[in-house]
Chains A and B, each alone.
Chain A
Amino acid sequence: MSGATTPLRWASRSRWPPGLGLAALAAVAGLGLGSLGALLWQARGVHPAALWQEPWLAAVLRFTLWQATLSTLLAVGLAVPVALALARRPRFPGRGLLLRAMELSLVLPTLIGLFGLVAVHGRRGWAAPLWEGLVGSESGYLYGLSGIVLAHVFYNLPLAARLMLQALETAPAAHWRLASQLGLTRATIWRTLEWPRLAPLLPRLAALIFTLCFTSFAIVMTLGGGPRSSTLEVALYQALKFDHDLALAALLALTQLTICLSLWLLALSRGGAPSLVVGSVALPTGGRWRRRDALGLSRLTDAVWLTALAALLLPPLAAVVLAGLAGLPELPRQASLWAAAARSLVMALGAAAGALTLALSLLAGSRWLKARRHGAAALLMEGGGQLILVIPALVLGTGLFLLLRPTLGSGWQGYGLVVLVNAFMALPFAMQVVRGALPGLSAPEERLADQFGIRGRVRLRWLVWPRLRRPLALALAYAMTLSLGDFSVIALFGSPSAPTLPMLLYQQLGGYRWQGAAATALLLLALVVLVFVLLGLLTRRPPRYPWNRFAREERHARVP
């Protein structure tokens, strides 16, 4: 086995990780800082004082920080009990449906998500009679801060809970076996098993969600009830599009960048400490252990949390699906629909592959650096991956335009660029998912593998890959669906008359075709479900590794 090894080693001694990591970092920084730089370079006379002279700007900034903090706390905080309940109950009717719904809500185009939320929570929504019955006054909670936070929780709690669930599921089976045999209580399990899994995840997850809420644009404006609640991006939009004030736009982008990136650095430095169990990632073998903490009172609390999750997620999605079903008769009349769907899928696949490659490169590079005690450099490399998320798409597009003109935008170059930018935008999500799995082998395992001469491709194939394949599939699915639903980037570069699915949807809305648009949204959701189900199926069945053959007997035969 070891005779055929190549010198390529994924382990920390190889020279590949730093090179790949640096290349990926250079690409991200080049794109992000390059476009920002282009804006600054084109702008004549930048006056930072202009920021302080706008009294409304301070108010906007305060409001943005407040709503983003509140949304993040609620989304992440409530995701914890939800994820715990889901992990505690691996089987119940509707669990699969709930998981699919969780994956959907993140990628719902904002306009469609808003339609669903309004249909349920609006003044004349499904929940309005309930509200009036309970509270006695007319239901108006969708407009104002409460509505913004509700929408942000709707969008982000499922993502947080889904990633936490994944982290919880990586706890080795042996630990659960032990917990079960020792009869540990719920509190002890939380302290010894669950919290150590979640803790390293939380700071990054919170930073990611904070960034998403901080830069959220359509939701804040539509539900905020007026210019009192607005975001920096609105000011940026105005500066760039209506006033062509590149200097102010660059300043606003820098403000956003500074706030979000410093938060990321804080999160990364807090969450960077590897927890005790990292490295001993569970192999995806069977053998679920009956959890004692699933009995008694937790039956009730879990039921409450899961019902609450379903009540949050399902009705708006159902509203979208119902509207889409009503629009189905319009579908056959749309010649461009299927071509648009195919185009979107191809582009999403490209973007997702790009995002994964970048994520793996950055993480491998960062890990290599960390192993050599270059903590700051490792932090920078990992933080770099988040850069694109905090630079507004509008700035990115305009900056790229300034950099690359006049060659940009002709024919399918434009599409290539969209795929590229989408890959960078999906990067933080991909990193979030893959990160937990990448450490791969623990030090003792690595030593053992070295002693046996299990190296290079073989080690990758038999020791690392089995741990990576499920997170990779999940990351690929998230990255794909993110670019499937993306409209902001493709809108920047303009297009010939061949639209992608979200473009088609916006065109339909612009042309009063509500029914058709709802049907297009339904198709988009169906594609997202398809991507998740397909990638889940491909990696669900444990591959035929030698140890799997004994997995079942082992459970009975061996005593730890």
Chain B
Amino acid sequence: MSSKVHAAGASLAALLAAGSLQADQTLTVYTYDSFVSEWGPGPGIEAAFEARCGDCDLEFVALPGGVDILQRLRLEGEGTRADLVLGLDMNLMAEARALDLLAPHGADLAPLALPIDWSDETFLPYDWGHFAFVYDSEQLETPPGSFAELLEAPEDVKVILQDPRTSVTGQGLMLWIKKLYGDRAPEVWARLNERVLAVTNGWSQAYFSLFMNGEAPMVLSYATSPAYHMAVEETDRYQAAVFEEGHYLQVETAAMLANTGQPELAREFLAFILTPDFQRHIPLGNVMNPAIDLGDERPEVFDRLIEPESLTFSPEEVRAHRREWIREWLNASVR
């Protein structure tokens, strides 16, 4: 009986732990789950890196999102299993830095091709994108050309947003409006709310449950979203509206832990991030812009995406004001 139980337990363990064989040098990377899915960039990057380093094993641990990576680091502190984290965006950088757990990346930043200057010594960008309103061209022939036009749009132009308290894109819109309108932000929120069909808790609900069902002609998403529709689904139906005031920028970064047992391997991985072997998996795998110039390797559909001006706050400003701005949004929206 007990041997049977043991056998069952062992096969259960094998089934559950499938794929995580231990090699001599294991590099554990905390990231978000769409990065590691089989069609995401994770598997290709893992294979490319393991081929390069020889006897090492790159192990991804998937968490629901960037905020969860930060939260996990906070909870685990110095005892964390992570050697690297991949997926903290600019708005989380200041808080992650304040944990005092991260070490300088030491990588050469020369290959970087971002819309803004980058000189941070801890956080290494691996991709970027602009927040944007994606519209359904079958419902809306001429999208608004600016934020001002969106606020003036006819009654039936409804938009689907996400909540800044629970979603990265929602927070992006909050910062976007704050950057554009400053103290007038509450008034803009109040006017925007007349256009709002729904404020969902996550991007997936907004995009999948509502927008793809045709519930509203516009949804808050990324300027790169149409690339997926054009390249994989081969349809031009969904496009991003370009706003003349500029779009808020999201830069996603990687960083290594100061306490890692594999500092050299971790640095090797960070240096690997800004090579074509890593970056070629980004455009269609993560549906974001690559952080270096990929030349001919960049999919053609990316030539057809909008190229707006970039708006940003510094990570420190975001950290200092986020709660207050969320409260401002909440009060303007609850009225």
Given contacts A122-B213, A496-B19, contact A226 B199 (CB under 8 A): yes
Pick the interface stretch among B48-56, B200-208, B246-254, B292-300. B200-208
Q: Decide if B209 is an interface residue (CB 8 Å cutoff).
A: yes
Q: Size range of the interface on B?
A: 35 or more
- Residues of A in contact (CB 8 Å), total 68
Distance in Å: Cβ of A478 to nearest Cβ of chain B: 23
Distance in Å: Cβ of B310 to nearest Cβ of chain A: 24
Closest to B166 in A: A237
Question: In chain A between 312 and 350, which residues have their CB closer than 8 angstroms to a CB of chain B?
Answer: 334-336, 339, 342-343, 346-347
Question: In chain B between 182 and 235, which residues have their CB closer than 8 angstroms to a CB of chain A?
Answer: 193, 196-210, 212-216, 225, 228-229, 232
Scoring A227, A342, A406, A409 by chain B CB atoms within 10 A of each residue's CB, the highest score goes to A227
Bound CA–CA A225/B201 (angstroms): 11
A498 adjacent to B209 (CB under 8 Å) = no
User: Which residues in A have their C-beta under 8 angstroms from that of B163?
Assistant: 221, 227, 234
Closest to A334 in B: B38
Closest to A231 in B: B201
A412 adjacent to B16 (CB under 8 Å) = yes
Closest to B14 in A: A412
Q: Decide if B146 is an interface residue (CB 8 Å cutoff).
A: no
A513 adjacent to B75 (CB under 8 Å) = no
Distance in Å: Cβ of B73 to nearest Cβ of chain A: 11
Q: Decide if A62 is an interface residue (CB 8 Å cutoff).
A: no
User: Which residues in A have their C-beta under 8 angstroms from that of B256?
Assistant: none
B214 adjacent to A124 (CB under 8 Å) = yes
A494 adjacent to B68 (CB under 8 Å) = yes
B165 adjacent to A406 (CB under 8 Å) = no
B61 adjacent to A495 (CB under 8 Å) = yes
Distance in Å: Cβ of B286 to nearest Cβ of chain A: 8
A118 adjacent to B215 (CB under 8 Å) = yes
Distance in Å: Cβ of A433 to nearest Cβ of chain B: 26
Q: Decide if B37 is an interface residue (CB 8 Å cutoff).
A: yes
Question: In chain B between 302 and 334, which residues have their CB closer than 8 angstroms to a CB of chain A?
Answer: 322-323, 326, 329-331, 333-334
B17 adjacent to A405 (CB under 8 Å) = no
Given contacts A111-B209, A497-B42, A498-B17, contact A406 B30 (CB under 8 A): no
Please encode chain A, from 65 to 90, with 1 for each CB lying within 8 Å of some chain B CB and 0 for all others: 00000000000000000000000000
Q: Decide if B64 is an interface residue (CB 8 Å cutoff).
A: yes
Distance in Å: Cβ of B38 to nearest Cβ of chain A: 5
A497 adjacent to B19 (CB under 8 Å) = yes
User: Which residues in A have their C-beta under 8 angstroms from that of B36?
Assistant: 497, 507
Q: Decide if A52 is an interface residue (CB 8 Å cutoff).
A: no
Scoring B71, B196, B198, B209 by chain A CB atoms within 10 A of each residue's CB, the highest score goes to B209
B30 adjacent to A494 (CB under 8 Å) = yes
User: Which residues in B have their C-beta under 8 angstroms from that of A507?
Assistant: 33-34, 36-37, 40
A227 adjacent to B199 (CB under 8 Å) = yes
Q: Decide if A269 is an interface residue (CB 8 Å cutoff).
A: no
Given contacts A118-B213, A234-B165, contact A241 B67 (CB under 8 A): yes
B208 adjacent to A111 (CB under 8 Å) = yes
Q: Decide if B72 is an interface residue (CB 8 Å cutoff).
A: yes
Q: Decide if A401 is an interface residue (CB 8 Å cutoff).
A: yes
A346 adjacent to B12 (CB under 8 Å) = yes
Q: Decide if A41 is an interface residue (CB 8 Å cutoff).
A: no
Question: In chain A between 500 and 519, which residues have their CB closer than 8 angstroms to a CB of chain B?
Answer: 503-504, 506-514, 517
User: Which residues in A have their C-beta under 8 angstroms from that of B212?
Assistant: 514
Distance in Å: Cβ of B127 to nearest Cβ of chain A: 14
Distance in Å: Cβ of A228 to nearest Cβ of chain B: 5
Quick one: which of A218, A401, A496, A513 contacts B39, CB cutoff 8 A?
Answer: A513
Q: Which 9 A-B pairs have the closest CB atoms?
A: A510-B34, A406-B79, A507-B37, A238-B165, A412-B16, A114-B209, A509-B204, A221-B201, A124-B214
* Chain B contacts to A: CB under 8 angstroms: 12-13, 15-20, 30, 32-34, 36-40, 42-43, 59-64, 67-68, 71-72, 74-76, 79-81, 163, 165-166, 193, 196-210, 212-216, 225, 228-229, 232, 287, 322-323, 326, 329-331, 333-334
* Chain A contacts to B: CB under 8 angstroms: 56, 59, 111, 114-115, 118-119, 122-125, 143, 217-218, 221-228, 234-235, 237-238, 240-244, 334-336, 339, 342-343, 346-347, 398, 401-402, 405-406, 409-412, 415, 491, 494-499, 503-504, 506-514, 517
Q: Can you spell out 6 A-B residue pairs with CB atoms less than 8 angstroms apart? A: A221-B163, A398-B75, A491-B68, A495-B62, A497-B42, A512-B229
